[in-house]
A and B are shown apart, each in its own frame.
Chain A
Amino acid sequence: MMRPVIRSAALRQSLAALAADEAAHLPLTALDTVWIQLTGTLCNIACRHCFITCGPKEDRVRMMTRAEVQNSLDECRALGVKEIYFTGGEPMLHPEFFAVIEDSLAVAPTSFLSNGILIDPAAADRLRALFDAARYSLDCRISLDGMTAEENDPVRGRGTFQDIVRGIGLLARAGLAPVVTVVEHALGMAATAKRSAFLAFLQGLGLDRPRVKFLPLLRIGREVRRTHGYGDDDFVRAGSLDRVAAEALQCGSCRLVTADGVWTCPLLLDEPEARLGATLREALAPIRLRWAACHTCVAEGLQCRT
């Protein structure tokens, strides 16, 4: 169904204020998952569905230094965090990417989300060495949006299918088992038959332990231009959320660390109001589900974690 896109900034703001008033509250049950926006909005490609509008020239949110990351990792340890995810942008663009991952693995199991294009044989070997040396698990997550170039490239960019598939193959050859994430950018992509087909496709790329994760589309960021945004009543009203649905929401157990402070979740980087404080400790308060994207989390049970 097509939803109207609200183009008037003033109207959008007043609706947001209304939403903020009426929106459901969500306490942080436990800080289990910490996301780290390692490279800010910097990415080596510019996907047409990117919900935080990343790209080679996007410097809205700057890269974190290794020292800044270390401060957050210290906080993670002090707070007893269960798992850490590095995201961007493309985290592998960080000049000290491998050192940062090693720092993180000393604290907790660590995942990074990448488009896989920068993985060359040397990078795959270094990841394998980090995997072997660490006490906790290192998980690589690679984004690929189809089983063919025809399906993937219109979304991720011309030639990306080939580059991503090559990266996945190199990880497989290094003896790693990445999770491949697929965004449902077209109808029916996550249907059961498709899911099985995707697993078989990954096996064909050399992954003897194929793992796949489907993610629903978020109608924010660049996706608004590719298709459309949310409608004006897409927010989660207080009282509309039962206990089971509330407990399933990731923002009840996660926060996002960026160079500019801590946000509610990895989805709302472009919402200044979703900033909760300068440090994790300042960001433990309950939040209000006042954003349109919350609608997708509630309706689709979205979990960014693996």
Chain B
Amino acid sequence: MPDLICVFGGVYSNHLALAATVEAAWRRGARRFYCLGDLGGFGPNPDKVLPLLREHEVTVLQGNYDHSVGHGLADCGCGYTDPRDNHYAQLSYDYTLARTGDEFRAYQRALPEVIVEEWAGKRVRMAHGSPRRVNEFLWESAAPDAFLARLMDAERADVLLVTHTGIPWQRTLPDGRLVVNVGAIGRPANDGTTDVWYALITVGEETAQRVSAELCRLPYDHPRLAAEMRAEGLPPEFVATIETGFWTTCLEILPPKERMRGRY
């Protein structure tokens, strides 16, 4: 029997999608859950996420957002240059920091920066952004094969699992090693649908030595999330992303290919 493992990232306070992810993956047969970080930001009521992570015994990695909120830093550290992007990033961060309780902040502070597992004899390295930097973006169109191979060489990794960008992709390198960006469950992937994404990792299928990934699209109760965001006074631009599936702010970080697929 192959082992199914659910890996997701970018919760962004979307407790509804978190609950839906666990339920959907459980139904598919997953019994182990990993979160690659960024628990807060963007969405409403950040404290609703912690009980779910505990209830489902999710193993969690520290994202850049968790580091900032955990330590009470002044901003999320994304470093936008566009004044509009900065404005929205700060709004979102200030709201999240103010509404995250001490217990959850202590939890985020204590999260590990690195998780390494051995699955089917393969060394699986999990990171938030990239193995070398928590806030490095690994976009599909901006991460060449040879560069990924270099990152993995440095870690002696056979499988690399990351998030942080919010758009899922996976690639088998020419040498057979696997890289998966699991995307985000907290907000849609700038593809014009309201669904979010998580990954199911299959360990030991076919031959005992195999690790493969499936990127899974997940519908969830997004109208309810939008209503909660409105009730919390979050910006209409953020709500529009939840309701349309297109990103509306902080677009300057997108490489041209990913940018052109969106509306803005």
A80 contact from B141, B142, B147, B252, Cβ within 8 A: B147
A108, A137, A177, A196 — most chain B CB neighbours (10 Å): A137
User: Does B255 make an interface contact (CB < 8 A)?
Assistant: yes
- Closest residue to A179 on the B side, CB-wise? B256
B257 contact from A76, A78, A80, A137, Cβ within 8 A: A137
- Closest residue to A139 on the B side, CB-wise? B256
Measured between C-beta atoms, what is the minimum distance from A115 to chain B in Å? 19
Q: Which of B47-72 contact A (CB under 8 A)?
A: none
Main SS of the interface on chain B? helix
- B83 and A196 within 8 A (CB): yes
- B259 and A109 within 8 A (CB): no
Measured between C-beta atoms, what is the minimum distance from B16 to chain A in Å? 30
- B83 and A109 within 8 A (CB): no
- A199 and B260 within 8 A (CB): no
Known: A137-B255, A177-B259. A107 touches B146 (CB 8 A): yes
- A131 and B256 within 8 A (CB): yes
User: Does A142 make an interface contact (CB < 8 A)?
Assistant: no
Cα(A138)–Cα(B147), bound, Å: 17
Cα(A135)–Cα(B143), bound, Å: 10
Return chain B residues, CB-CB under 8 Å to A196.
83-84
Return chain A residues, CB-CB under 8 Å to B237.
none
Cα(A76)–Cα(B132), bound, Å: 19
User: Does A77 make an interface contact (CB < 8 A)?
Assistant: yes
Cα(A124)–Cα(B192), bound, Å: 27
Return chain A residues, CB-CB under 8 Å to B151.
80
- B141 and A109 within 8 A (CB): yes
Return chain B residues, CB-CB under 8 Å to A223.
none
Proximity string of chain A (30-52) to chain B, C-beta cutoff 8 Å, 1 when within and 0 when not: 10100000000000000000000
- B146 and A136 within 8 A (CB): no
Return chain B residues, CB-CB under 8 Å to A176.
256, 260
Known: A137-B256, A138-B256, A209-B259. A107 touches B84 (CB 8 A): no
Measured between C-beta atoms, what is the minimum distance from A210 to chain B in Å? 9
- A139 and B255 within 8 A (CB): yes
Measured between C-beta atoms, what is the minimum distance from B40 to chain A in Å? 25
- A211 and B252 within 8 A (CB): yes
Measured between C-beta atoms, what is the minimum distance from A178 to chain B in Å? 9
Cα(A76)–Cα(B251), bound, Å: 28
Measured between C-beta atoms, what is the minimum distance from A139 to chain B in Å? 5
- A135 and B82 within 8 A (CB): no
Proximity string of chain B (107-122) to chain A, C-beta cutoff 8 Å, 1 when within and 0 when not: 0000000000000000
Interface size on A, residues (CB 8 A): 30
- A80 and B149 within 8 A (CB): yes
- B83 and A83 within 8 A (CB): no
User: Does A25 make an interface contact (CB < 8 A)?
Assistant: no
Proximity string of chain A (199-214) to chain B, C-beta cutoff 8 Å, 1 when within and 0 when not: 1000000001101010
Known: A137-B255, A177-B259, A211-B252. A80 touches B83 (CB 8 A): no
User: Does B27 make an interface contact (CB < 8 A)?
Assistant: no
- Closest residue to B171 on the A side, CB-wise? A135
Measured between C-beta atoms, what is the minimum distance from A82 to chain B in Å? 5
B150, B256, B264 — most chain A CB neighbours (10 Å): B256
Q: Which of A70-105 contact B (CB under 8 A)?
A: 76-83
User: Does A154 make an interface contact (CB < 8 A)?
Assistant: no
Proximity string of chain B (142-165) to chain A, C-beta cutoff 8 Å, 1 when within and 0 when not: 111011111101000000000000
Known: A137-B141, A196-B84. A81 touches B146 (CB 8 A): yes
Return chain A residues, CB-CB under 8 Å to B84.
196, 199
Cα(A135)–Cα(B169), bound, Å: 13
Q: Which of A173-197 contact B (CB under 8 A)?
A: 175-177, 192, 195-196
- A136 and B260 within 8 A (CB): no
Cα(A211)–Cα(B252), bound, Å: 7
- A136 and B82 within 8 A (CB): no
Q: Which of B82-138 contact A (CB under 8 A)?
A: 82-84, 132
Return chain B residues, CB-CB under 8 Å to A137.
139, 141-142, 255-258
- B83 and A108 within 8 A (CB): no
Return chain B residues, CB-CB under 8 Å to A135.
141
- A81 and B147 within 8 A (CB): yes
Measured between C-beta atoms, what is the minimum distance from A25 to chain B in Å? 21
Cα(A214)–Cα(B35), bound, Å: 37
Measured between C-beta atoms, what is the minimum distance from A131 to chain B in Å? 7
- A199 and B82 within 8 A (CB): yes
Return chain B residues, CB-CB under 8 Å to A209.
251, 259-260, 264
Return chain A residues, CB-CB under 8 Å to B258.
137
Measured between C-beta atoms, what is the minimum distance from B80 to chain A in Å? 12
- A136 and B144 within 8 A (CB): yes
B148, B150, B153 — most chain A CB neighbours (10 Å): B150
- Closest residue to A80 on the B side, CB-wise? B150
Question: Which 10 A-B pairs rank lowest in CB-CB distance, beginning with the nearest?
Answer: A80-B150, A137-B141, A137-B255, A108-B144, A80-B146, A82-B147, A137-B257, A137-B256, A109-B142, A192-B83
Q: List 10 A-B contacts (CB under 8 A).
A: A77-B144, A80-B144, A80-B147, A80-B150, A80-B151, A82-B142, A136-B141, A177-B260, A199-B82, A213-B81
Residues in chain B within 8 A of chain A (CB atoms): 81-84, 132, 139, 141-144, 146-151, 153, 251-252, 255-260, 264
